[in-house]
């Protein structure tokens, strides 16, 4: 009987209750644990009793853990506090300065913290620094990812002073410095096209741009370059190959190597899970015990939850364990019924690769759809074509770490071709418009998950293939009908996408156009692209940028890289400031790269359904915004970018505008925009406002909302309502 498995079920249930359901109270958790222990003692069913004991033990440990690690941090989170910290990773540039993951040094312990600071100070791994900061506990945030990643505090530093790297360093810090050195060596000696080797060996995914990561996600192979249990298994395979006949030597050298590799690469849940399982596999013959992979999986989970119970909320942990569970449950059956019966080795290899992918997705695919909002439809053939390169590149990268730079450079000229093949497969797949299904069409996303499960069902039960095919087809027809019939029934759509503190507007009618696309850089462009692709828009007639502020234009490059665009319209500016020049150059470079024409608007421009008005002032970037009027079937919508009330009044004097059915609040609903003159003259019935939740600017301003409602308009904001869509 797998007692450890039943014990783990109780642990998972209790920890999940603490994270997602129970109040923050160690006393409550202890009392519930005592109750479960008492009930378990009375239960006669052995397996159910073990489940109750596991839940009781988990609640008790959560109580102790909370009192030891979270409660003492309250004193540090009251006002501004002095601190001393040591960087655990190099600092990285952010939109508003820098951030660094560091260990804040307390009298009796250190606390892993993410510290944000302004200025240009770069911090290296292991460097000690002091300062003053406002700290908050990550457990108090609605986002559980930080606390699940062993980060207990976040801080915003008002002062920061580097103190240098001390001579005495912990083993964990030395491992991180070694990872930095390996990363620098591989970056220095390998060609740019071979940078995925850096990610495979060190787990550093920052070598990839957002666009490259996104293409791998769409192709369904991002897990292959994200350091995971697969890479630990490959390393263990090398150890078996070298020492297979000497079990003691294999365990004595292999386990420390696996642990060192896991620590050096950051101890991600997936690598910890694989290291525990592989270590137990190495120890099993020495202890004369039969290796049980299911018990090993449970043991790995208990190790992670003992180190931090809140790690159960880590999406990486959930995906790694559910994928492994799917393989353990379904792959042996699939192998017995289909794969082993094939005589040709290459056929068995192909079927094995496809089978492992199918089984891994049995439980992890629904979670991936929930967390990331995307299901790659071509993952099976892409994995078959590209994954074999990873099995060669990873061990090659490990060997290169030990060789002189000259040999690494020479070898890089060879292995770069493997990387180029991988990139070719990924890039070709990502360019297919229907390569994935997105959260923007929830019913189609649900169908994609059902289709994956149906394919596995058909592979496991060949006699039920007809039923699986009917399920896939029927669910596709139903999801498509419910998704697209309402879309096609109404010819005109205007949508304000919820992109946070920025603006991205989409018009779908006689013309397909995007007005502004900014807030979160490439992520905003990708959100707009997925929205359009999900609604069958594979080409844009126009992209119109009201002005060159980042929150209106920083997603353009990603958008036009995904959706072919005919023309980009930009405002005429007499004297651009450095920020505007940077964004202007970025847009022109992207347009040239992806084949879009650039038109600078200095006079009124009439398109099929859109009228673009030139800047009404050159005083600053906001007032030099383009204005756009959408006129279609007696419905008029006005967009004024970030114009203030004075620029709006100039627009009204210079051009005759119709009464409006809808308008977009100027400057995200700022107090000095969407002025009295515009509202009194055009009287919009609906006003959309694109603003981020809890933004520091206070958008939309209460006075703006009051003005709109006073003139009979209804005010909607993306901060409260999400995507806003008008159909007619």
Condensed to tens digits (0 to 9), the pLDDT of residues 655-664 reads 999 999 999 9
Under the banding of pLDDT at 50, 70 and 90, the label for residue 345 is low
d(CA 131, CA 162): 9
What per-residue confidence (pLDDT) applies to 293?
Answer: 92
- Mean pLDDT over 272-285 rounds to 91
Query: Which has the higher per-residue pLDDT, 639 or 357?
Result: 639
Residue 592 in this model has a pLDDT that exceeds 90: yes
Q: Which of 336, 206, 321, 349 is nearest to 266 (CA)?
A: 206
Provide the pLDDT for residue 144: 74
Could you give the CA distance from residue 525 to residue 652 in angstroms, rounded to a whole number?
32
Band the pLDDT of 339: cuts 50, 70, 90. Answer: low
Q: Could you tell me the two tokens for 91?
A: 């600092």
Residues of the chain with pLDDT > 70, as a percent, come to: 98
Average pLDDT value over all residues in the chain: 91
Picking from 296, 281, 368, 363, the residue whose alpha carbon sits closest to that of residue 323 is 363
For CA atoms 62, 67, 70, 74, the dihedral sign is positive
pLDDT of residue 342: 65
Distances (CA, A) of 32 to 54, 71, 78, 302, 312: 12, 19, 31, 20, 19
| Cα 573–chain centre separation | 36
What number is the average pLDDT over the span 124-139?
Answer: 92
End-to-end CA gap in the chain:
63
Question: Hey, what are 373's tokens?
Answer: 């909002």
Task: Please report which confidence band the pLDDT of residue 344 belongs to, taking 50, 70 and 90 as the band edges.
Answer: low
Measured CA to CA in angstroms, residue 503 lies from 112, 519, 640, 724 at distances of 35, 7, 11, 12
Q: Considering only 126-135, 215-224, 242-251, 297-306, which range has the smallest mean pLDDT?
A: 242-251
SS (H, E, C) 200-248: HHHCCHHHCCHHHHHHHHHHCCHHHHCCCHHHHHHHHHHHHHHHCCCHH
Q: Please tell me the distance from the alpha carbon of residue 492 to that of residue 682, in angstroms, as a whole number.
A: 21
pLDDT score of 230: 80
Q: List, for residues 389-444, the tens digit of each pLDDT value.
A: 988 999 899 889 888 989 999 998 899 999 999 999 999 999 999 999 999 999 99
Give residue 355's pLDDT. Answer: 84
Grouping H, G, I as helix, E, B as strand and the rest as coil, residue 676 is helix
pLDDT 10s digits, 607-620 = 989 999 999 998 88
Strand 597-601 and strand 565-571: pairing? Answer: parallel
Q: Please, where are the H alpha helices in 85-159?
A: 145-148
Nearest 5°: phi and psi at 338? -125, -55
Q: Are 620 and 646 in contact (CB under 8 A)?
A: no
Residues in Cβ contact with 306 at an 8 Å cutoff, skipping those fewer than 6 apart: 61
pLDDT of amino acid 459: 85
Instruction: Check pLDDT > 90 for residue 241.
Output: no
Report the C-alpha gap between 509 and 630 in whole angstroms: 10
With a CB cutoff of 8 Å and minimum separation 6, the contacts of 279 are 254, 255, 258, 259
pLDDT confidence of residue 466? 87
Closest to 437 in 3D by CA, of 425, 452, 426: 452
In angstroms, rounded to a whole number, what is the distance separating the alpha carbons of residues 371 and 476?
A: 22
pLDDT of residue 317 exceeding 80? yes
Residue 161 pLDDT > 80, yes or no? yes
Q: For the residues of 527-574, what is the DSSP string, one character each?
A: HHHHHHHHTT---EEEEE-S---HHHHTTHHHHHHHS-EEEEEEE--S
Pairing type for strands 128-137 and 512-518 reads unpaired
- At 489 the pLDDT is 87
Average pLDDT for 329-336: 87
Partners of 437 in the β-ladder = 375
DSSP H or E stretch at residue 516:
strand 512-518
E strand or H helix at 592: helix 578-594
Rounded mean pLDDT, 79-108: 89
Residue range 684-698: mean pLDDT, rounded: 93
Instruction: Give, in degrees to the nearest 5, the angle at Cα 594 between 592 and 598.
Output: 45
- 52 contacts 10 by C-beta, under 8 angstroms: yes
- Which H or E run contains 483? helix 465-489
**Measured CA angle at 55 (ends 52, 61), to 5 deg:** 140
Task: Say yes or no to pLDDT of 1 above 70.
Answer: no
Structure tokens given for 142: 């609605």
> Which structural domains are found in the chain, ordered by start?
3-72 (no CATH), 79-169 (2.40.50), 179-322+388-438 (no CATH), 323-377+439-463 (no CATH), 493-722 (3.60.15.10)
Question: Band of the pLDDT at 497, cuts 50, 70, 90?
Answer: very high
pLDDT at residue number 583: 94
State pLDDT tens for residues 162-189. 999 998 888 888 888 988 899 999 999 9
Residue 557 to residue 591: CA distance in whole angstroms: 8
Contact 55, 33 (CB under 8 A): yes
Name which of 309, 310, 369, 356 is nearest 459 in CA terms.
Answer: 356
**What pLDDT is stored for residue 341 in this prediction?**
66
At 549-566, the pLDDT tens digits run 999 999 999 999 999 999
Joined together, the tokens standing for residue 598 give: 């650039």
pLDDT of residue 417: 94
- Residue 145 or residue 330, greater confidence: 330
């Amino acid at each position: 009987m797998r007692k450890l498995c039943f014990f783990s079920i109780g642990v998972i249930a209790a920890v999940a209750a603490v994270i997602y359901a129970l109040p923050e109270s160690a006393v409550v958790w202890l009392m519930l644990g005592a109750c479960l222990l008492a009930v378990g003692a009375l239960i006669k069913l052995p397996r159910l009793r073990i489940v109750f004991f596991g839940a009781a033990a988990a609640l008790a440990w959560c109580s102790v853990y909370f009192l030891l690690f979270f409660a003492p941090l309250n004193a540090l989170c009251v006002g501004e506090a002095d601190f001393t910290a040591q960087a655990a990773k190099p600092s990285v540039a952010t939109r508003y300065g820098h951030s660094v993951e560091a260990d804040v040094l307390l009298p009796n312990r250190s606390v892993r913290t993410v510290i944000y600071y302004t200025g240009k100070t770069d911090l290296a791994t292991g460097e000690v620094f002091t300062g003053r900061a406002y700290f908050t506990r990550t457990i108090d945030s609605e986002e559980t990812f930080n606390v699940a990643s062993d980060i207990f505090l976040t801080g915003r530093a008002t002062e920061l002073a580097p103190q240098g790297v001390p001579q005495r360093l912990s083993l964990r810090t030395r491992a991180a410095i070694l990872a930095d050195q390996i990363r620098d060596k591989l970056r220095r000696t390998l060609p740019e096209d071979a940078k995925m080797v850096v990610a495979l060996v060190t787990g550093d995914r920052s070598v990839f741009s957002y666009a490259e990561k996104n293409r791998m996600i769409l192709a369904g192979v991002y897990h292959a370059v994200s350091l995971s249990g697969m890479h630990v298994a490959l390393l263990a395979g090398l150890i078996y190959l070298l020492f297979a006949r000497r079990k003691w030597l294999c365990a004595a050298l292999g386990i420390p190597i696996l642990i060192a590799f896991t620590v050096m690469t950051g101890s991600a849940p997936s690598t910890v899970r694989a290291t525990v399982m592989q270590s137990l596999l190495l120890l099993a013959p020495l202890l004369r015990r039969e290796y049980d992979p299911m018990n090993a999986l449970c043991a790995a989970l208990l190790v992670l939850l003992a180190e931090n119970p809140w790690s159960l909320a880590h999406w990486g942990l959930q995906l790694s364990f559910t994928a492994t569970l799917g393989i353990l449950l379904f792959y042996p059956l699939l192998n017995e019924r289909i794969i082993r019966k094939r005589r040709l080795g290459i056929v068995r290899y192909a079927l094995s690769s496809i089978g492992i992918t199918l089984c891994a997705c049995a439980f992890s695919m629904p979670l991936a759809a929930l967390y990331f909002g995307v299901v790659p439809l071509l993952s099976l053939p892409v994995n078959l074509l590209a994954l074999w390169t990873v099995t060669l590149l990873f061990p090659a990268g490990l060997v290169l770490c030990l060789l002189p730079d000259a040999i690494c450079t020479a070898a890089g000229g060879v292995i770069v071709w493997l990387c180029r093949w991988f990139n070719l497969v990924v890039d070709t797949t990502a360019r297919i418009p229907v390569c994935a299904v997105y959260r923007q069409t929830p019913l189609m996303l649900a169908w994609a998950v059902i289709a994956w499960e149906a394919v596995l069902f058909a592979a496991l039960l060949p006699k039920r293939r007809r039923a699986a095919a009917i399920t896939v087809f029927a669910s596709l027809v139903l999801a498509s009908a419910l998704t697209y019939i309402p879309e096609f029934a109404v010819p005109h759509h205007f949508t304000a996408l919820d992109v946070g503190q920025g603006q991205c507007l989409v018009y779908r009618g006689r013309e397909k156009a995007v007005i502004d696309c900014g807030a979160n850089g490439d992520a905003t462009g990708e959100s707009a692209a997925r929205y359009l692709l999900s609604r069958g828009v594979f080409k844009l007639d126009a992209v119109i940028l009201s002005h060159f502020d980042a929150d209106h234009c920083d997603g353009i490059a990603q958008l036009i890289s995904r959706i072919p665009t005919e023309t980009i319209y930009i405002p005429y500016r007499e004297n651009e400031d450095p920020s505007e020049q940077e964004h202007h150059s970025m847009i022109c470079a992207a347009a040239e790269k992806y084949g879009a024409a650039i038109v600078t608007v200095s006079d009124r421009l009439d398109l099929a359904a859109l009228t673009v008005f030139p800047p009404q002032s050159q005083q600053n970037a906001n007032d030099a915004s383009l204005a756009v009027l959408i006129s279609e079937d007696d419905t008029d919508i006005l967009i004024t970018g970030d114009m203030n009330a004075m620029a709006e009044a100039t627009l009204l004097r210079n051009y005759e505008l119709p009464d409006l059915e809808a308008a977009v609040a100027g400057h995200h609903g700022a107090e000095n925009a969407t002025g009295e003159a515009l509202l009194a003259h055009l009287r919009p019935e609906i006003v959309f406002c694109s603003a981020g939740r809890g933004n520091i600017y206070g958008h939309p301003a209460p006075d703006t909302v009051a003005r709109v409602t006073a003139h009979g308009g209804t005010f909607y904001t993306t901060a409260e309502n999400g995507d806003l869509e008008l159909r007619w």
